């Protein structure tokens, strides 16, 4: 196996592993979908794919996420964890930045605002993660970075993986993967 091919297999294997165990914190909310690294999936790409899985528009799911973030912010004010001025700034940031809204939101509130069950929301995000990881494997195969056998092995690993739902918990490695299971902080 060529040195470049070994790197590509290792990188795609890492993507599969990260989609499986999750990378919370900064990784869950970073990325923005730019760059060519394996696993570079922005929050918008994940939300769009999940909306498709749910059979709702991306706008409806994004609005549910922003509304859920606002509810978390209101709760933080009520609990006296933040001031009204801080809440206003956070709400503005959540309105303008899906990563922020996603990080502050709770799966149960998003599901309610999107008129789906939490189970359905989590299942849609799992399916979206799988679809996005499969797309990365297919792209690596098409680019000649991995062989067909390597792609098959990676897809088999992905098929047997337990992927996180709406939010993921994990190591916070900052690798640009979006999404997740239970998260940390106010978005838990």
For the segment 11-43, what is each residue's pLDDT rounded down to a tens digit?
A: 444 444 444 434 333 333 333 333 334 455 789
Span 52-68, mean pLDDT? 97
What residues form DSSP beta bridges with 41? 177
Whether the pLDDT of residue 64 is over 90: the answer is yes
pTM of the shown model? 0.71
For the segment 120-163, what is each residue's pLDDT rounded down to a tens digit?
A: 999 999 999 999 999 999 999 999 999 999 999 999 999 999 89
For the chain, what percent of residues have pLDDT higher than 70? Answer: 68
Rounded to whole angstroms, what are the CA distances from 141 to 17, 95, 108, 120, 159?
A: 18, 38, 37, 31, 17
């Amino acid at each position: 196996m060529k040195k470049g091919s070994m790197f590509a297999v290792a990188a795609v294997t890492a993507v599969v592993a990260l989609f499986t165990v999750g990378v919370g914190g900064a990784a869950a909310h970073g990325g923005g979908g730019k760059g060519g690294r394996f696993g570079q999936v922005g929050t918008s790409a994940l939300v769009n794919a999940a909306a498709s899985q749910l059979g709702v528009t991306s706008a409806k799911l994004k609005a549910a996420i922003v509304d859920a973030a606002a509810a978390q912010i209101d709760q933080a004010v009520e609990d006296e964890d933040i001031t009204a001025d801080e809440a206003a700034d956070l709400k503005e940031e959540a309105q303008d930045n899906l990563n922020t809204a996603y990080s502050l939101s709770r799966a149960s509130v998003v599901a309610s605002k999107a008129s789906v069950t939490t189970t359905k929301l989590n299942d849609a995000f799992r399916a979206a993660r799988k679809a996005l990881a499969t797309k990365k494997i297919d792209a690596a195969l098409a680019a000649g970075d991995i062989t067909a056998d390597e792609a098959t092995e990676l897809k088999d690993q992905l098929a047997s993986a337990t992927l996180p739902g709406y939010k993921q918990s994990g190591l916070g490695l900052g690798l640009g993967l979006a999404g997740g299971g239970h998260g940390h902080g106010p978005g838990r």
